[in-house]
Amino acid sequence: MKIERLKDCKWGEKVEIPLMINKVLVGRGLLTSIYAGDKDMEIKCFIKTDGVKLEVGKVILAKGNFSEPFKPSSFQFVEEYDINEFLPSVQRPIEDIMKEIELLSMEEIVSSEAKQLDNYFFSNEHFVEKFKCGIGGVFNHHNYRGGLAEHTLGVMTLSKYLAYKYDIRYKEIAILGAKIHDIGKVYEMVYDAPFSYTLKGSLQGHIVMGIVMVEKAFAENPDAYSEEFKERIKAIIVEHHGKVEYGSPVAPKTQEAHVVHYADYVDANMNKLAIVSEGVEPGTWSGFDKRVDGKLFL
């Protein structure tokens, strides 16, 4: 019986189900122990490989009587599949999120140098396609495909509100800085296979990678930007984590850097609360979760 979702499997039922390999553990005799699953959940499996190498990110069609752990009687590799069936994705249509980002950009990013920098990234189809698939994090917040765009929209929206509410001087720079504060995450993390960090991302981190990206943009058209604009934009990227112990090389030093830091902090943490609260009945406690370092009463 072919079943598309792991959550629909019933104990003892004969199934054929596609699973993405998330982790390969040490082999035990003729069996290889793996964790595999889909976008909803994962399960431990013992696979008889007969010498075939199992790799993280590969999709297999496992056949056998379902149990936990699952011990398929046979398997075969699946070559064509929809990645979004195996990795969690943002609940809203990604194109709706991108449209909101674009509308906010058209309203607030109006000066020639701000538009030049914005277009450098967001008129680049290759960058935009990766941005739309990107994740906000491997675990902590917005850890699903499309999460980077969703987080960016949230930070832009909060930054606009704070910039106007408190009448800071460089509102446009704050909003543009919010839009590009996490662009390094496009290359920091793996999001077309089980979520992890790239080698470069592990060694440098998205703040350093983001600075390198904007420096390249500035270098390609040096006459388009004032020195103060460049330094204010870079300050937002460098300082948006707020404190050295949270990953910022220095603490915020401008109004707009403070605005983006607070917007980033609020949006990330509200997303953590949403993730921890999901599926918890009103009037009950969530389980312990490292994201909030405790439990939540809903």
| Average pLDDT of the residues in 142-147 | 96
Q: Does domain 94-277 have CATH number 1.10.3210?
A: yes
User: What pLDDT does 92 receive?
Assistant: 94
Domains 6-84 and 94-277 share a fold: no
User: What pLDDT does 248 receive?
Assistant: 86
pLDDT in tens, 115-132: 999 999 999 999 999 999
User: What pLDDT does 29 receive?
Assistant: 61
User: What pLDDT does 241 receive?
Assistant: 94
Confidence band (pLDDT; 50, 70, 90) for 184?
very high
User: What pLDDT does 28 receive?
Assistant: 60
Confidence band (pLDDT; 50, 70, 90) for 1?
low
The string of DSSP letters for 230-284 reads HHHHHHHHHHTT-SGGGT-SS---SHHHHHHHHHHHHHHHHHHHHHHHTTPPTTS
Phi and psi at residue 244, to the nearest 5°? -60, -45
| Average pLDDT of the residues in 259-269 | 97
Task: Give the whole-angstrom CA distance, residue 239 versus residue 254.
Answer: 9
| Tokens matching residue 141 | 């917040």
pLDDT in tens, 52-110: 888 999 999 999 999 989 999 999 999 999 999 999 999 999 999 999 999 999 999 99
Ranges 6-10, 158-162, 199-203: which has the least confidence: 6-10
**Bridge partner residues of 97 (DSSP):** none
User: What pLDDT does 60 receive?
Assistant: 93
Mean model confidence pLDDT for the chain: 94
Architecture of domain 6-84: Beta Barrel (2.40)
Task: Give the whole-angstrom CA distance, residue 183 versus residue 217.
Answer: 12
Reply yes or no on whether the pLDDT at 2 is more than 80.
no
Task: Give the whole-angstrom CA distance, residue 56 versus residue 91.
Answer: 25
Task: Give the whole-angstrom CA distance, residue 68 versus residue 98.
Answer: 40
Where do the domains of the chain lie? 6-84, 94-277
User: What pLDDT does 14 receive?
Assistant: 93
| Average pLDDT of the residues in 157-182 | 98
Confidence band (pLDDT; 50, 70, 90) for 247?
confident
pLDDT in tens, 11-33: 989 999 999 999 998 766 678 89
